[in-house]
């Protein structure tokens, strides 16, 4: 099947949308892998050079988005996408939204964890007044 058979006045938007979605998801997954390195520290507070393999893998895989979208044979036949222009604004906007939400979540988590310390030590389960659940193990 040739991609030109699909190109009608209404269809290219599907291929542009597919390319924007592919770029967004691929780059966000790589950022997410870096964010998951620590559950509470911000990505800006972490030492990303501790795990160089993870850093280089995320960087290299994020760069593969561009050849997949812009090399004609790959984009036409393998992925069926069309090169995008203004859609990059959506991609980078979604990356910004993801970073803001993730950093706010981690900030809230750090803030809530501060209240768990009593006299310089962590609170026990009894001190937290958590409900007790019966298990079969007891």
Judge whether 107 lies within some domain: yes
Specify which residues 117 forms β-bridges with.
122
Is 26:59 a contact under the CB 8 Å cutoff? no
- Lookup: tokens for 20: 């924007």
Indicate whether 28 belongs to any domain.
Answer: yes
52 — pLDDT class (breaks 50, 70, 90)? very high
pLDDT category of residue 59 using cuts at 50, 70 and 90: very high
The model carries a pTM of 0.76
For the chain, give the number of residues: 138
Give a yes or no: residue 7 inside a domain. yes
Evaluate if residue 6 carries a pLDDT over 60.
no
The verdict on residue 135 lying in a domain is: no
pLDDT band at residue 57, thresholds of 50, 70 and 90?
A: very high
Decide: residue 75, CB within 10 A, 0-12 exposed, 13-18 middle, 19+ buried.
buried
The pair of three-digit structure tokens given for residue 80, joined into one six-digit string: 């069926």
Does any domain span residue 136?
Answer: no
In a domain, 102, yes or no: yes
Closest Cα partner for 35 from 20, 16, 54? 54
Number of domains present in the structure of the chain: 1
105 is in which domain, residue-wise? 3-128
Residue 137 lies in a domain: no
Residue 20 within any structural domain of the chain: yes
Rounded Cα gap, residues 55 and 28, in angstroms:
14
- Give burial (CB, 10 Å; 0-12/13-18/19+) of 76: middle
């Amino acid at each position: 099947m040739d991609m030109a058979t699909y190109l009608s006045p209404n269809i290219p938007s599907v291929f542009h949308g597919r390319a924007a979605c592919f770029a967004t998801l691929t780059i966000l997954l790589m950022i997410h892998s870096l964010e998951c390195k620590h559950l509470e520290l911000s990505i800006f507070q972490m030492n990303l050079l501790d795990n160089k393999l993870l850093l280089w893998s995320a960087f290299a895989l994020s760069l593969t988005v561009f050849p997949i979208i812009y090399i004609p044979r790959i984009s036409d036949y393998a992925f069926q996408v069309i090169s995008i222009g203004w859609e990059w604004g959506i991609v980078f906007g979604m990356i910004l939204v993801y970073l803001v939400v993730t950093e706010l979540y981690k900030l809230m988590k750090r803030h809530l964890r501060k209240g768990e310390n009593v006299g310089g030590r962590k609170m026990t389960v009894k001190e937290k007044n958590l409900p007790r659940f019966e298990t079969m193990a007891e």
